[in-house]
Structure 1
Amino acid sequence: MASNRAVSTGDSTLDSLTYAPEGAILPQKRIFAYYGNPHSKKMGILGKYPKEEMLDRLDREIKNWEKADPATPIQPALHLVAISAQGAPGKDGGYRMRMSDKTIKKVLKWGNEHKAIVFLDIQRGHAPLGPEMEFLGKYLKLPFVHLGIDPEFSMVTGAKPGTKIGSYDAADVNQAVQFLSRMVKEYKLPPKVLVVHRFTQGMIKNYKNIKLDPNVQIVMDMDGWGPPVLKKDSYHDYIQKEPVQYTGFKLFYDNDFRKQGSRIMTPEEVLALTPKPMYIQYQ
């Protein structure tokens, strides 16, 4: 079955993936994503269960959110850690591992079959952001593929990933926006969504200098774990008080229970936040 896209990706397998949502997703729909990597049961729900069980859980969870906000349609999503920060430098000193073409295509096929958009997430370690985005470029030619960048693993100080929390400057976010905008224009794609994770003040520098672009929808995603009061405070302090465009909120099936007496927030509690998050992610 041939795709109706105007431009080929140059890869026959990718060209066979025909899911092609039209137009901008936000704010017409709320994105609901399962996060992780199929090679790791600990990295998130995406890899914790076999494909069919994971997708079944995704569908069941979406129904809870539809009940909580019947007026807003939900766009299912899979959020793949496509470039994973590492504790060892690797051959090029980048402290990151790029997933294989086979792994990325596997998740893209799941998304295509399930009519779920797919986010490819970058944990850059010490590697420059530009080449990592270029590595994902052929996949981003698909209209249902979007991008995530994680400041936690952007080790500008030279520290080893996982030993300290990293950061991005507005200039880095703008670089990602410009990259995606060029792709949208060149390949005649609907607007791309860029998810930027954040759970501390220092993870994003100079947020006021982030420049909006009509071809890219920026989501600042509060992705810290812990008890509800801490998550609400983080959302208020780092997302609401430093607005960019759209907002997101992350929930953890495991980590949100780690502290005694803690629990995972309900859809109703999350939707009571101001502004209402338009991107929801479960790990």
Structure 2
Amino acid sequence: MSSRTRSARNRPARPRSDRARSTWTRLARTGLGRASAHRVRVAAVASLAAAALVLTAGCTSSADDRTSLVTRQQEARVTVVGATDAPERAVEASRALFASSPVAVVAPDGDPEAQAEASDEARRLRVPMLLAPAPAPAAGSSGASASPAPSTTGSTTDSAAADPTADGTADGSSTVLAAELERLGVDTVLTVGDVGALDATGVEVVTGASSVDVPEAGSPRSDVLAVVAGGDDVAATATARAAGAEVEALPDGVVDLQASGEAIDALHASTTTATVLIGASFASVPDPGWSVAAARSGEQLPGGGQRFFPDRRFVALYGAPGTGALGVLGEQDVAATVQRTDAVAASYDAVSDRPVVPLLEIIATVAAGAAGADGDYSNELSAESIAPYVDAAAAAGQYVVIDLQPGRADFLSQAKRYESLLSRPNVGLALDPEWRLEADQVPLRQIGGVEASEVNVVSSWLADLVASKGLPPKMFVLHQFRLDMLRDRSTIDTSHPELETLIHVDGQGSQPDKQATWRTLHDGAPAGVAWGWKNFYDEDAPMLSPEQTMADVSPTPDLVTYQ
């Protein structure tokens, strides 16, 4: 097993000095980095039953009208082979990678030794490998498998004369197998192990490989990467190799491409243009097309992988560029801000049980006391003025969150102002409902709030942006220190795989009061959200040290912000 199969979660955090060499560094030079180059990889999973465009060079029918061996071009950029049981996954792989084949290799489900031998034969012959359901126990056998009929190496039988129900194999799996043999146009089946009787009319069944001629090779599917989760998909994997596909096995226990640095490295390094995901676990992936495209982008967080929580802890400076009145982020220039953020994050290295990532939360739209020319009581910074912070953070291996204080505007219209920045892999989005006001409200006179429906509109737009550009997941932050700031909070949609939602508790003052707010806001929160805690340099009494923050705040925060 290659080094790629080691889980990223077991790798130590990068030394602080290595953060400057993070994969985000490339973004400072390339803007969108490689994400744009991978947009073409984003596609919905097409039906395996759709008509295929096939390569037929060198695969014409012979004089005796035997079936040609024809590999299949991929209709979709991503295909999922994710049926519940291995025999059906074997069929799905065959459908995905072969249009036709005169020969197929069949082994019994549940027989590892036979499957290993069958895998070798399928790859030698360059034909699909399929699985027959294990024979049912014979009557009165007390659960023992029926003994296989005597056979002679190289012998053949005509399965048309066999009774498909004789050994109990005429179930759903055997029906699927028979249908696939018919679809492929198989003339000869090479069996390895006790596969029972095959319900395949007119097919020659051979029990010895020496009697099987190697078919004329179909066009190899060298443009396909087969990603295999788990180690029990011998047949589907053998079919992928037989078709000429590149095969990458995921580390043990990994089913989320975004969680594995090794998987991301492998997909990024591959020059293939199509992907087949093999494994039952892939059937539950909400958006396989995006997941593959994001992994192929190659962008990773410090420490490896693309998932934020619970693999990492973030430590942030908060504020607006050019002014210290709104937070410490604006107390110094861009370069000094990045250095200060790195130093504050480093103070958590010794007390955090996870790798620590520095973060900048930049207030992009600032709630204002005056209506302004547009009447929305919000001053919007230009994306161009924020870009130097994003560039510098990317070069230093830091993440950035764009914070919105919309006044009387709505969150979506303001978020769209920063689409160019949000199209970068290291930039997420924060909504600050305290400053989301009604038409008759003014900042600092009322505390605002937002309906869950508006939050969901923004998260859907952001998730679509991530998916359309093949970007890694984004952090989606919701600020809150009163329950009515996020109205109908239980209906907030946290199902987008492209986003990882965090509720940031912004309470300030005495520690007992802050702890009470922290506990209150946890009650009834949407399932699966991460949590952020804020330390105020001037307003807290007292402000917690890094050691106290990790020890006294329970549950331990995923993000700690300094203002």
What is the TM-score normalised by the length of structure 1?
0.88
Shift of 1:157: 5.7
Tell me the equivalent position of 1:63: 346
Tell me the equivalent position of 2:218: none
Confirm or deny: 8 A CA contact 1:19 1:115 kept in the other structure: no
**In the alignment, residue 505 of structure 2 is paired with which amino acid?**
M
Q: Which has the higher contact order (CA 8 A, sep 6+)?
A: 1
Tell me the equivalent position of 1:255: 539
Question: Relative to structure 1, is the Cα distance of residues 4 and 48 closer, same or farther in structure 2, using a 3 angstrom cutoff?
Answer: closer
Tell me the equivalent position of 1:15: none
Q: Provide Cα deviations, 1:63-102, integer angstroms capped at 9, x if missing partner.
A: 2211112x30011111100011111111121111110233
Shift of 1:195: 0.8
Confirm or deny: 8 A CA contact 1:222 1:250 kept in the other structure: yes
Match of residue 47, structure 1, among 323, 330, 338: 330
**In the alignment, residue 546 of structure 2 is paired with which amino acid?**
P
Q: Does 1:129 align with 2:158?
A: no
1:85-100 to 2 correspondence within 5 Å?
Answer: 85-100=367-382
Shift of 1:140: 0.5
Tell me the equivalent position of 1:7: 36
Confirm or deny: 8 A CA contact 1:123 1:153 kept in the other structure: yes
Question: Relative to structure 1, is the Cα distance of residues 38 and 150 closer, same or farther in structure 2, using a 3 angstrom cutoff?
Answer: same
Question: Relative to structure 1, is the Cα distance of residues 268 and 201 closer, same or farther in structure 2, using a 3 angstrom cutoff?
Answer: same
Q: Provide Cα deviations, 1:127-180, integer angstroms capped at 9, x if missing partner.
A: 122211111111101000000000100003631011111001111221221111
Q: Does 1:231 align with 2:511?
A: no
Confirm or deny: 8 A CA contact 1:123 1:149 kept in the other structure: yes
Confirm or deny: 8 A CA contact 2:299 2:472 kept in the other structure: no
Confirm or deny: 8 A CA contact 1:30 1:279 kept in the other structure: yes
**In the alignment, residue 152 of structure 1 is paired with which amino acid?**
E
Question: Relative to structure 1, is the Cα distance of residues 207 and 159 closer, same or farther in structure 2, using a 3 angstrom cutoff?
Answer: same
1:206-245 to 2 correspondence within 5 Å?
Answer: 206-212=488-494, 213-238=496-521, 240-244=522-526, 245=529
Report the 3-state secondary structure (helix = DSSP H, G, I; strand = E; otherwise coil) of the residue aligned with 1:265.
coil
**In the alignment, residue 538 of structure 2 is paired with which amino acid?**
D
Report the 3-state secondary structure (helix = DSSP H, G, I; strand = E; otherwise coil) of the residue aligned with 1:171.
helix
Gaps of 5+ in 1: 9-17, 257-261
Confirm or deny: 8 A CA contact 2:450 2:487 kept in the other structure: yes
Q: Does 1:188 align with 2:470?
A: yes
Q: Does 1:202 align with 2:481?
A: no
Q: How many residues align?
A: 267
Confirm or deny: 8 A CA contact 1:19 1:112 kept in the other structure: no
Match of residue 401, structure 2, among 103, 108, 119: 119
Confirm or deny: 8 A CA contact 1:32 1:280 kept in the other structure: yes
Tell me the equivalent position of 1:282: 562
**C-alpha separation between the residues in 2 aligned to 1:271 and 1:241?**
20
Confirm or deny: 8 A CA contact 2:322 2:332 kept in the other structure: no
- Alignment RMSD (CA, Å): 1.9
Q: Does 1:105 align with 2:387?
A: yes
Tell me the equivalent position of 1:259: none
Q: Provide Cα deviations, 1:8-49, integer angstroms capped at 9, x if missing partner.
A: 7xxxxxxxxx99435222221111111111221111111112
1:28-39 to 2 correspondence within 5 Å?
Answer: 28-39=311-322
Match of residue 138, structure 1, among 415, 420, 423: 420
Report the 3-state secondary structure (helix = DSSP H, G, I; strand = E; otherwise coil) of the residue aligned with 2:556.
coil
**C-alpha separation between the residues in 2 aligned to 1:151 and 1:97?**
16
Question: Relative to structure 1, is the Cα distance of residues 19 and 195 closer, same or farther in structure 2, using a 3 angstrom cutoff?
Answer: farther
**C-alpha separation between the residues in 2 aligned to 1:131 and 1:4?**
26
Report the 3-state secondary structure (helix = DSSP H, G, I; strand = E; otherwise coil) of the residue aligned with 1:255.
coil
1:76-87 to 2 correspondence within 5 Å?
Answer: 76-87=358-369
Question: Relative to structure 1, is the Cα distance of residues 269 and 169 closer, same or farther in structure 2, using a 3 angstrom cutoff?
Answer: farther
Report the 3-state secondary structure (helix = DSSP H, G, I; strand = E; otherwise coil) of the residue aligned with 2:375.
coil
Shift of 1:231: 0.9
Tell me the equivalent position of 2:100: none
**In the alignment, residue 279 of structure 1 is paired with which amino acid?**
L
Shift of 1:103: 1.6
Tell me the equivalent position of 1:166: 448
**In the alignment, residue 544 of structure 2 is paired with which amino acid?**
M
Shift of 1:58: 2.1
**C-alpha separation between the residues in 2 aligned to 1:55 and 1:159?**
36
**C-alpha separation between the residues in 2 aligned to 1:216 and 1:27?**
14
Q: Provide Cα deviations, 1:204-246, integer angstroms capped at 9, x if missing partner.
A: 11111011121111110011211111111110111x2132311
